[in-house]
Structure 1
Amino acid sequence: MRVLVAGDHFVTPELVIRALDDDADVTTLMSAWPYEPYGPVAEVDEASGDEDELIAALDGVEVAVTQMAPFTDRVLAAADALRLVVCTRGGPVNVNVAAATKRGVVVCATPGRNAVAAAEHTIALLLAALRRIPDVHPTVRAGEWRSDLYALDAAGHELSGSTVGLVGYGEIGARVARILRAFDAEVLVYDPYAEQGPGFVTDVDELFARSSVVSLHARLTPETRTLVDAARLARMPRGGVLVNTARGGLVDYDAVVDALESGQLGAAAFDVFATEPPAPTDRLLTASNVVLTPHLAGATVQTARRAAEQAAAAVRAYARGDRPAAVVNPEAYETVGH
């Protein structure tokens, strides 16, 4: 069984090879990501690499492991021997799953590989926003000593005793909730697709109305696009905080800036944006009381290692004739004949 590891400078080929069996027949292909940004390639999104180069590398390959390589309809049509693609991401957005299914190619993902990292980054952003750390850090470096920030109307807020609303309760949202409870925060949750439990509400508007902090952990769907708009921000207690480490499309960012300027929002923290990177004219870049990071919530050494290990486990399962974890097109799995 020939295996292609199409890696990059995050989930490197070496990480995957070390996680695979020693006797695997492995060839490698290297993408320039993240030193060069990903983007659309033909009909797939968030991809990195060249279709022709990938087609050449897939000659005679039965199994491919990748994070960003563009598995387009054209690539899949040319890969006659291919039977399994393992994408080391939560979802295979760089794989044309419909085209893979039509050709009997099983597609797997590695959900949860960045749950720890994304949850911890969420808490870091939240605390930084509540205490306005990014605003004061450069002042100390510049030789200033802002003791005036002890003034009551300038002081930050504590997480303990706050009510934090989580929109989405997958692996990341559930982990964030556990961390928040350790800070003695009250946690509310809105997720109609999760098993309901203590703190869950059935109306997202109720969550916004009761939460001084809202953190987003939902998938981007037609139903959730611009879920956070001017009307929902207006429902929050004045001076609230919004955090988004999920998907930029969940938020109307112009409405966020308006709410920051009016004082309806006291602070906001974002790792994801409507357009990535934001345009130089994006109002967020000059807004006050905003913490911004460049889609790095999942960027830890442990995330990369975990992704490689999960991918290797899927390859080993396939080689044994077992069903791999996280198959996204089960109908193709049946076609393969396992």
Structure 2
Amino acid sequence: MTKVFVTGKVMKVGVDMLRGFADVEIIEDPRPEILEERLKGADGILHKVGKLSEKVLRNNEHLKIIARHGVGLDDIDLSYVKRKGIWLTTTDDANTNAVAEFTIGLIFAVVKNIVRAHIELTIKNRWMREDFMGEELSGKILGIIGYGRIGKKVADLAKGCGLRVIAYDPNVDRADCELLPLKDVVSQADFLSIHCPLTDETRGLINCELLSRMKPSAFIINTARGGVIEEDALVEALQERRIRGAALDVFALEPIERGNSLLNLDNVVLTPHIAAMTEQSQEKMAVMAAQEIRRVLLEGREPLYPVW
């Protein structure tokens, strides 16, 4: 019988679709040694968490498709998958609204001091109105790094708040906002929001030199991938108040380690990679990924959203 593995917790509707034609095994523990031990003999993989390295994948001689639950591909050995002729798909656009809305939420959280005020009131029982003076968004500049589906949606929502949007994306020639060189976007932005994928070209893109170009009053927002920012350089900039603050949903190492210096800062808002965690987006991603696996394994057709 056709064998499909699911890595991570996926909405039941997607798993049920797979069980309609395949033997499904769910692996919730993403540790490499667990995946290497259990992920064997797969015809298809619905992949949500963990790293699919060559070491993990080479025990699956008949693997025909990896359907990514999401859009990030930095946890998959792309060269091995391509070399073996394995279909690789993503759930493009399924989480666009969720991530874009969350990004705007983080902007509000930092500029309005929402999280800090909540902590002072509920945990410390301190009524501190004057200490949490916020600012209005209208007239400020949002700089977007990566103007794909999510970046564009963030721009649309931001414009509704009166923000002026500028963007950098070397792969985009035309946009409904002003496209500028990276250094100019970084230096002009009041809010710098990261929306590019993590690749060899973007790893450590936001480094010490670029952070030094940011306004001292600026915030950096990251709902993309932690590796796009040099985390040590960011911590130093925050500690020295060279930038005003940061809101991060992603980190260089996940889950974030207890000793990470970001956890000790008072000018950050940190969340555990939950931007795409809405009922709607999780269901869409589960269904889209399952449909792609069904197309390839059951119907013998090409997927609708292949990476190549």
Q: TM-score, normalised by structure 1?
A: 0.80
- Paired position in structure 1 for 2:36: 51
- Paired position in structure 2 for 1:4: 4
Using a 3 Å threshold, how does the CA distance of structure 1 residues 305 and 247 change in structure 2: closer, same or farther?
Answer: same
| CA distance, structure 1, for counterparts of residue 69 and residue 199 of structure 2 | 21
Q: Using the TM superposition, give the Cα deviation of residue 168 of structure 1 relative to its aligned residue in structure 2, in angstroms.
A: 0.6
Larger deviation: 113-122 or 255-264?
A: 255-264
- Paired position in structure 2 for 1:113: 94
Determine whether 1:30 maps to 2:3.
Answer: no
| CA distance, structure 2, for counterparts of residue 157 and residue 66 of structure 1 | 41
String of CA shifts for 1:171-194, please: whole Å, max 9, x gaps: 111111111011111000110112
| CA distance, structure 1, for counterparts of residue 183 and residue 127 of structure 2 | 41
Q: Using the TM superposition, give the Cα deviation of residue 74 of structure 1 relative to its aligned residue in structure 2, in angstroms.
A: 5.3
- Paired position in structure 1 for 2:229: 251
Determine whether 1:123 maps to 2:116.
Answer: no
SS in 1 for 2:39: helix
- Paired position in structure 2 for 1:311: 289
SS in 1 for 2:178: coil
Identity of aligned residues (%): 29
Using a 3 Å threshold, how does the CA distance of structure 1 residues 98 and 229 change in structure 2: closer, same or farther?
Answer: closer
SS in 2 for 1:129: helix
Using a 3 Å threshold, how does the CA distance of structure 1 residues 63 and 284 change in structure 2: closer, same or farther?
Answer: closer
Using a 3 Å threshold, how does the CA distance of structure 1 residues 188 and 315 change in structure 2: closer, same or farther?
Answer: same
Q: Using the TM superposition, give the Cα deviation of residue 165 of structure 1 relative to its aligned residue in structure 2, in angstroms.
A: 0.4
- Paired position in structure 2 for 1:188: 166
Please list every run of 5 or more consecutive structure 1 residues that lacks an aligned counterpart in the other structure. Answer: 43-48, 331-338
String of CA shifts for 1:56-77, please: whole Å, max 9, x gaps: xx3xx64443323765545554
Using a 3 Å threshold, how does the CA distance of structure 1 residues 94 and 226 change in structure 2: closer, same or farther?
Answer: closer
Please list every run of 5 or more consecutive structure 2 residues that lacks an aligned counterpart in the other structure. Answer: none
Q: Using the TM superposition, give the Cα deviation of residue 291 of structure 1 relative to its aligned residue in structure 2, in angstroms.
A: 0.5
- Paired position in structure 1 for 2:60: 79
Structural mapping, 1:1-338, within 5 Å: 2-9=2-9, 11-12=10-11, 14-19=12-17, 24-33=20-29, 38-39=30-31, 41=32, 49-55=34-40, 58=41, 62-68=43-49, 71-73=52-54, 76-141=57-122, 142-149=124-131, 155-318=133-296, 319-328=298-307, 330=308
- What RMSD in Å do the two structures reach over aligned CA positions? 2.6
Using a 3 Å threshold, how does the CA distance of structure 1 residues 18 and 177 change in structure 2: closer, same or farther?
Answer: same
String of CA shifts for 1:105-147, please: whole Å, max 9, x gaps: 3222223332222111111111101011111102211322113
String of CA shifts for 1:37-74, please: whole Å, max 9, x gaps: x35x27xxxxxx4333221xx3xx64443323765545
Higher alpha-carbon Rg: 1
SS in 2 for 1:303: helix
String of CA shifts for 1:77-120, please: whole Å, max 9, x gaps: 44344322323231445544433444443222223332222111
Count of residue pairs brought into register by the alignment? 306
| CA distance, structure 2, for counterparts of residue 289 and residue 70 of structure 1 | 32
String of CA shifts for 1:229-281, please: whole Å, max 9, x gaps: 33323323331111111121222333333333444322211111223334433
Using a 3 Å threshold, how does the CA distance of structure 1 residues 76 and 265 change in structure 2: closer, same or farther?
Answer: closer
Using a 3 Å threshold, how does the CA distance of structure 1 residues 211 and 97 change in structure 2: closer, same or farther?
Answer: closer
Tell me if the contact between 1:159 and 1:185 (Cα under 8 Å) persists in the aligned partners: yes
Tell me if the contact between 2:7 and 2:28 (Cα under 8 Å) persists in the aligned partners: no
Tell me if the contact between 2:74 and 2:198 (Cα under 8 Å) persists in the aligned partners: no
| CA distance, structure 2, for counterparts of residue 284 and residue 267 of structure 1 | 11
Q: TM-score, normalised by structure 2?
A: 0.87
SS in 2 for 1:260: helix
Larger deviation: 257-266 or 183-192?
A: 257-266
Using a 3 Å threshold, how does the CA distance of structure 1 residues 104 and 235 change in structure 2: closer, same or farther?
Answer: closer
SS in 2 for 1:50: helix
Using a 3 Å threshold, how does the CA distance of structure 1 residues 72 and 250 change in structure 2: closer, same or farther?
Answer: closer
The code of the aligned residue for 1:143 comes to: N
| CA distance, structure 2, for counterparts of residue 94 and residue 249 of structure 1 | 12
| CA distance, structure 1, for counterparts of residue 281 and residue 90 of structure 2 | 14
Tell me if the contact between 2:120 and 2:126 (Cα under 8 Å) persists in the aligned partners: yes
The code of the aligned residue for 1:66 comes to: H
The code of the aligned residue for 2:36 comes to: E
Using a 3 Å threshold, how does the CA distance of structure 1 residues 105 and 240 change in structure 2: closer, same or farther?
Answer: closer
The code of the aligned residue for 2:304 comes to: A
